[in-house]
Amino acid sequence: MKKIRLGILLAIAAAFTACEDVVDLDIQKGTSYPVLDAWITTEPGVQKIRFTKSLPYTDQTPAPVIGDAVITLLDETANKSYLFTFKDGYYNYDPGDNETVGVIGHAYRLRVEYNTEVFEAVDTIKRITPIDSISYEYQTKEENFVSEDGYVAKFHAKDIEGGVDYYWMRSYINDLQHKVGDAFSVDGYFDQSVKDGASFILPIQEAVTDFDKPFQKGEKVIVKLRSLTYQSHFFLTQVEEQLYSGGLFAKVLENVKCNAINVTPGGGKSRILGFFGTSAVSSKERIIE
């Protein structure tokens, strides 16, 4: 009996470790939805919003851009409105040199008019803690878990006391077109607050670095820390979970719920995907010497 059971277990193990064959599946395309990618910040300069059409999961072509919508940002705290104009694939608003649209503590409403229907989403810009500094240390493959010799960088910051704060850290190498990594935090910890006002824990600090390709001498480390609301933190962490979900017991992929709702007078039938969020931003950069 033991030999029979062992044979069954070996057969199951062999099935899961066998070589994979590429199979082309004939999957129905499904419904295409508008997708909103809108994030307003306190950083000076042009604010950009992207509005596209969704594609089937297996389609690798660029998402078609929607250029005939009317997009308006409303600052409900200051009673101001900003009309975004479409150019070069984005809806843009330029407040002027060194001027900002986003203000900490202000509530914002984004209004999207498209195909005779109207969608609105709201968010509030929360406070942000400053990044104190960026440090780095040279490590070899033999010393640590890096895939090649190089510099492991980390940022240093402390959570603001008095309330729960949600953060989004994103790092870049050399310029803002080359993203390295993302990390999400609650009061400096991962998914729940442990101690208010504490320094960010080491795994989040070191999320600045891609351990498969650490920084090299002469490269610039750029770190941006963004404030989030509870709903924007929930949305982004759900998206991250979808992107990196895998394995035998992975969750089934699904669209993460958008915060924009249909407010068309008389009732609308359409819906959109994506998200509208706002953030205060603190930044720091350092060259590896």
Give the model confidence (pLDDT) of 19-45 as tens digits.
555 555 555 667 899 999 999 999 999
Look at residue 234 and tell me if it is in a domain: no
Q: How far is CA 202 from the centre of its chain?
A: 20
Q: What is the pLDDT of residue 31?
A: 84
Residue with tokens 């402390």: 158
Look at residue 10 and tell me if it is in a domain: no
Q: Are residues 163 and 177 in the same domain?
A: yes
Q: 121 in helix, strand or coil?
A: strand
Structure-block tokens of residue 147: 């895939």
Look at residue 224 and tell me if it is in a domain: yes
- Residue 15 pLDDT level (bands cut at 50, 70, 90): very low
Look at residue 241 and tell me if it is in a domain: no
What are all long-range contacts of 159-162, with beta carbons under 8 Å and residues at least 24 apart?
A: 159/129, 159/187, 159/188, 159/196, 159/197, 159/198, 159/199, 159/200, 160/127, 160/129, 160/197, 161/196, 161/197, 162/196, 162/197
Q: What is the pLDDT of residue 143?
A: 76
Look at residue 15 and tell me if it is in a domain: no
Q: Are residues 53 and 90 in the same domain?
A: yes
- Residue 163 pLDDT level (bands cut at 50, 70, 90): very high
Q: Are residues 140 and 82 in the same domain?
A: no
Q: Are residues 155 and 206 in the same domain?
A: yes
Look at residue 9 and tell me if it is in a domain: no
Distance CA 256, CA 66 (A): 21
Domain of 108, CATH number, reads 2.60.40
Q: Which domain holds residue 179?
A: 131-228
Distance CA 113, CA 268 (A): 12
Q: Are residues 193 and 268 in the same domain?
A: no
Look at residue 186 and tell me if it is in a domain: yes
Q: What is the pLDDT of residue 76?
A: 98
Q: Are residues 137 and 199 in the same domain?
A: yes
Q: What is the pLDDT of residue 50?
A: 98
Percent of the chain scored above 70 by pLDDT?
A: 86
Question: Would you give the end-to-end CA distance of the chain in angstroms?
Answer: 65
- Residue 206 pLDDT level (bands cut at 50, 70, 90): very high
Look at residue 2 and tell me if it is in a domain: no
Number of domains composing the chain: 2
Q: Are residues 55 and 192 in the same domain?
A: no
